[in-house]
Structure 1
Amino acid sequence: MVEAHLRAAIRTGLTAAEFWGLTPYHLSLRLQEMGRARIETALYGGWFSERFAREERLQGPQTYVRTMLDKREPADEDDGDAFVAMFALSNGLGVDEVEPLSEAP
């Protein structure tokens, strides 16, 4: 049992000294958070890959940054919804569909 935990810790980048200095609880937390961080990184990479795959010709990085930061430019709702759903599911949360708010007259 200890060997399996040591192997998992080394696989995630902890040294043997760090492993032996952690309590089982703290080791479990570190391993879980490292796993979540890797999953989140992979999801971001997948999301951006899908986003870029839809474009015929890629623009410079500033275009994508400006698009994400500029609130005046409407974002593609499908991309945003998919990203939120993917992020929520990767963190163990559910996503419920809601009706959009109607604008006041």
Structure 2
Amino acid sequence: MGEALSVARDCNISECEFWKLTPYDLISRVKSHRRNAAIGYLYTGWFAERFAREERLQGPQTYIDQFFREQSPAEVDAPDPVMFHRMAQDWGLEIEPYSE
């Protein structure tokens, strides 16, 4: 039980809250906390690598606007043709033009 309490504390769950949780709820909260931490680490690594490749860094608001702006449904649904063809090539497929 002491080990479970230690894990709960690592996940910012207080001792009082720990004793109110069922084992299932505790495991769910710990998994969720660890998953969110891993996602945060991946984002940090991705942005660090991206910024390392920038010719000239801009202010933080520029990147916030660029990455978190609302996209229109047309932008989201429209696949990039170059990326599509590159993916097809990776799989050894040849794209034929569409004709009716």
TM-score (norm 1): 0.63
Higher relative contact order (CA 8 A, sep 6+): 1
User: % of aligned pairs identical?
Assistant: 39
CA distance in 1, matches of 2:4, 2:15: 11
CA distance in 2, matches of 1:67, 1:103: 33
Tell me the alpha carbon deviations over residues 3-62 of structure 1, each in whole angstroms, 9 at most, x when there is no partner. Answer: 111000001111000100000000000000000000001100110000000013201234
Instruction: Give the Å deviation of 1:66.
Output: 4.6
| Pair 1:99-2:84 in alignment | no
SS of 2:55's equivalent? coil
Which residues of structure 1 form unaligned runs of 5+? 79-96
- Is the alpha carbon distance of 1:55 and 1:3 closer, same or farther for their aligned partners in structure 2, counting shifts above 3 Å? same
SS of 1:99's equivalent? helix
Query: In structure 1, what is the equivalent of residue 92 of structure 2?
Result: none
Q: Which has the higher helix share?
A: 2
TM-score (norm 2): 0.66
The CA RMSD measured in Å over matched residues stands at 3.1
Number of residue pairs the alignment of both structures matches? 82
- Is the alpha carbon distance of 1:56 and 1:18 closer, same or farther for their aligned partners in structure 2, counting shifts above 3 Å? same
Query: In structure 2, what is the equivalent of residue 4 of structure 1?
Result: 3
* Higher-Rg member (1/2): 2
